[in-house]
Amino acid sequence: MATVIPTKPRLQRRDWLNAALAALVEGGIKAIAIERLAENLGLTRGSFYHHFKDQQDLLQELLTYWEQHWTVEIGIEITALGLDPRQSLLALVRMIRHRKASQYDTVFRSWALHDAMAREVVERVDEYRLGVIRDLFERAGFEGLDAENRARLLLYYEVAEPTLFAKQNRETRDQLVEYRLKLLTAAGLDSD
């Protein structure tokens, strides 16, 4: 009878991206080193090169991964729900929070302060997010600068909230979301 030698499960490109993301969160851009990632995954450097050309390729893919997974996919899903604008805004905030979509914003924004490639992606992410949210406010009947301002306020809050505010219990957090959206979707100062 032949001896079966257990093998490690074959890791995918996404596993390397998640390891790089964890390293970025833990130690910033300088912590994303091929050898360290391979060691953390229990693999050799050769496995890395099966998925990426070099470290620069990994960094570009990491930016794309963040942009697609924590921004574009959410925008597409919100649009596909087909809800009215106010329900869509609530669903959007809940989805952002459930997926912890803004938890990585700080590290990517920090990276973008010193790197043109990262800055370009962060700017594109901000424009996309703002466009989705602004569209929902416009569909809710707000126009021009009013829709833009409401969209920016919601985006600023959702991006900054995880790093600026103490954690609340779920009930309080849900009540704050409902109240904030009620404020943002209330009639503007110009309407009488």
Separation CA 141–CA 151 (nearest Å) = 13
HSE-up (13 A, CA, CB side) for residue 28: 7
* Residue spans in the chain of domains classed CATH 1.10.10.60: 12-52
Question: Under CATH, what is the fold of the domain 12-52?
Answer: Arc Repressor Mutant, subunit A (1.10.10)
Which of 165, 192, 187 is closest to 177 using CA atoms?
165
Distance of CA 27 to the CA centre of its chain: 19
* Predicted pLDDT of residue 190: 57
Class for domain 55-184, per CATH? Answer: mainly alpha
pLDDT of 188: 63
Q: What is the pTM of this model?
A: 0.86
Residues of the chain with CATH 1.10.357.10: 55-184
- Find out whether 129 and 155 touch, Cβ atoms under 8 Å: yes
AA identity, residue 70: W
Looking at residue 192, what is its pLDDT?
44
pLDDT of residue 143: 96
What's the confidence (pLDDT) of residue 44?
87
Tens of pLDDT, residue by residue, the chain (192 residues): 566 554 555 778 999 999 999 999 999 999 999 999 999 999 988 889 999 999 999 999 999 999 999 999 999 999 999 999 999 999 999 999 888 888 899 999 999 999 999 999 999 999 999 999 999 999 999 999 999 999 999 999 998 887 787 777 889 888 988 999 999 999 865 544
